[in-house]
Amino acid sequence: MKIFAGGPKNGLMIPILWGVPQLVLAADADMRPGVTEMSQRIQQIHHMSLWVCIVVGIIVFGAMFYTMFAHRQSKHPTPATFSDSLLVEFIWTLIPVLILIVMAVPATKALIEIEDATDSDMTVLITASQWKWHYEYVGSGINYYSNISTPQEQIDNEEEKDEFYLLDVDNRLVLPTNKKIRFLLASDDVIHSWWIPDFAVKQDAIPGFINEAWTRIPEPGVYRGQCTELCGQGHAFMPIVVEVRPEAEFDAWIEEQVLAGALAGEAAVAARAKTWTMEELMPMGEEVFIKHCMTCHERDGMGQGIKYPALNGSAIATGQIVDHLDRVMNGLADTEMQAWAPQLSDLELAAVITYERNAWDNATGDIVQPITVYEAR
């Protein structure tokens, strides 16, 4: 365009005039439309209210700028003396009321639909805990934990961050397309909140309550979200990833899971039958420690003050194995030390306890076998 050609002055104007809007557009600065019928309706309501605000803003701020320009002392030395007008005040009380009514109508309609989770095709029970999600396909017996899978090295800036930094998990929630899916939300400890922006579903998971939400997803794909209620130091690190598959593929996945569950049972039996060595358990235990224990107890086992005690040299990690098993498997009531027995396999528990008893300066030499864990259950 000609007007921007040449001149050092214009060289400065181009980035300001074009750069700022480009930045806003390029960075997804608007509420995303999402993929469900409801998320798209919600975006429309958002746009409607935004436009109402912009138009009112232009009128009010326009009037302010006009009066600041036209009625400044140098241009308008004698002030007017009016200070009341019942009619004007009545009009500008009435008009906002009318605008608000117009805004409330679509919001009310959408809300009544959002809150109606009846006639669903399937139910997923989502249970939150510090700092992971547990998904249970109600009625099928399939259930599993979903943990963040972003490596700690990326968080600590020791490795380059990948595309889905902080938004990736080990086990995704898999859902079918075109089904009315009901979510039930519960929590094991503090309040969390489950949010997938593309579905416009955000619902708190509250201990002692079961909350409800629903969605119907027309398109297969991978959708990401995060916990949105402050839930402790891992709040930023409990992402949600949902993988939506066409119905047939979803059914196949369910069968696969049932089969995998049976295989895991067999593997557990095999693990119990075997006597494991220190060399086998230590690397496995370290892996479990990094994934589940390190957030609080730190990589070097030194913990963080009294709230997250050190394991290095601790009375439990270097004392009786029974006590150590009890603390790891059953947790400590009313603290962030949760019960790991339901979350980890016998082998994983045996490995991590062995690791804690022999890592850092702890040199107990104890080896905990999966069978011991099994018997302690």
Helical pair 247-273 and 346-358, crossing angle rounded to 10 deg: 60
For residue 364, how many other CB atoms are within 10 A of its CB? 14
Annotate 274-298 with b (16+ C-beta within 10 A) or e (fewer). Answer: eebeeeebbebbbebbebbbebbbe
119 binds other proteins (CB under 8 A): no
Q: Which of residues 142-201 bind other proteins (CB under 8 A)?
A: 154-157, 161, 163-167, 185, 189-191, 193, 195, 197, 200-201
Nearer to other proteins, 49 or 120 (CB): 49
Q: Which of residues 321-340 bind other proteins (CB under 8 A)?
A: 334-336
Contacts of 365 (CB under 8 A, 6+ apart): 358
Annotate 122-158 with b (16+ C-beta within 10 A) or e (fewer). Answer: ebbbbbbbbbbbbbbbeeeebbbbbbbbbeeeeeeee
Nearer to other proteins, 217 or 349 (CB): 217
Nearer to other proteins, 55 or 138 (CB): 55
Nearer to other proteins, 113 or 323 (CB): 113
Nearer to other proteins, 77 or 139 (CB): 77
Q: Which of residues 23-62 bind other proteins (CB under 8 A)?
A: 23-24, 27-32, 38-39, 41-42, 45-46, 49-50, 52-53, 56-57, 60-61
User: Of 19-27, 285-293, 342-350, 360-368, which part binds other proteins (CB under 8 A)?
Assistant: 19-27
State in angstroms the smallest separation of the CB of 240 from other proteins: 11
State in angstroms the smallest separation of the CB of 279 from other proteins: 33
Q: Give one DSSP letter per residue of 202-269, joined into a string.
A: EEEE-TT--EEEEE---S-EEEEEEE-S--STTGGG-EEEEEEE-HHHHHHHHHHHHHHHHHHHHHHH
Nearer to other proteins, 88 or 264 (CB): 88
Q: Evaluate whether 336 touches 292 at the Cβ level (below 8 Å).
A: no
Cis peptide before 133 (omega within 30 of 0): no
CA distance 331 to 4: 67
Nearer to other proteins, 25 or 322 (CB): 25
State in angstroms the smallest separation of the CB of 288 from other proteins: 21
Q: Which of residues 288-307 bind other proteins (CB under 8 A)?
A: 304-307
State in angstroms the smallest separation of the CB of 272 from other proteins: 33
The amino acid occupying position 71 is: H
Nearer to other proteins, 155 or 254 (CB): 155
Contact flags string 206-225 toward other proteins, x per CB under 8 A: xxxx-xx------------x
Contacts of 245 (CB under 8 A, 6+ apart): 174, 175, 176, 177, 220, 253
Q: Which of residues 59-98 bind other proteins (CB under 8 A)?
A: 60-61, 63-64, 67-68, 71-73, 76-85, 88-89, 92-93, 96-97
